[in-house]
Amino acid sequence: MDAPSDAFLWVKALHIIAVVCWFAALFYLPRLFVYHAMSEDAVSHERFQVMERKLYRGIMWPAMVATLITAHFLVDWGDATRHYHDAIWFYLKVSLVGLLVIYHLFCGYYRKKLMLDAHYKSHKFWRYFNEMPTLILFAVVILVVVKPQF
């Protein structure tokens, strides 16, 4: 196997940075939903709206887009030597990333619902909702690192 090019390594580094930023936001936004649902006063409600909006628009969206773009280039460049498209683990990983994108979009939907009614769902719901990206992260990391043969 040939050594990866410098460009490939730079894109890989950017991909890892984007994934870390995206997951940080995916972990934190639902946690804000927990606190938002527990808030009782208008000042707190407004503060959480601002925090959620800035996190969702300013960090989550750019990080997700950067993750998906860099992933595309990594697969495009790396598939010539690593045969990703022949491996079931790769399709499972792509499916899980698809679920993560859907989760991301649900976060945006729920953010708008919370703007109208902070008690739209209970803080317990948001605590469970907050665990979904953790489960996906575990599965994706195992698939990428172990590359299990099915």
Q: What are the pLDDT digits (tens) for 80-92?
A: 666 778 889 999 9
Tell me, what's the pLDDT at 79?
67
Binding site members: 15, 93
pLDDT at 29: 97
Counting the structural domains of the chain, the total is 1
For the chain, residues with pLDDT lower than 50 are 1
Which two tokens mark 12?
């890989």
Which residues span the domain enclosing 64? 6-146
Residue 83 pLDDT: 76
The answer as to whether 134 is a domain residue is yes
Q: Would you list which residues are annotated within the binding site for heme?
A: 15, 93
pLDDT given for residue 99 in this prediction: 98
Residue 142 domain-assigned?
Answer: yes
Residue 1 belongs to a domain: no
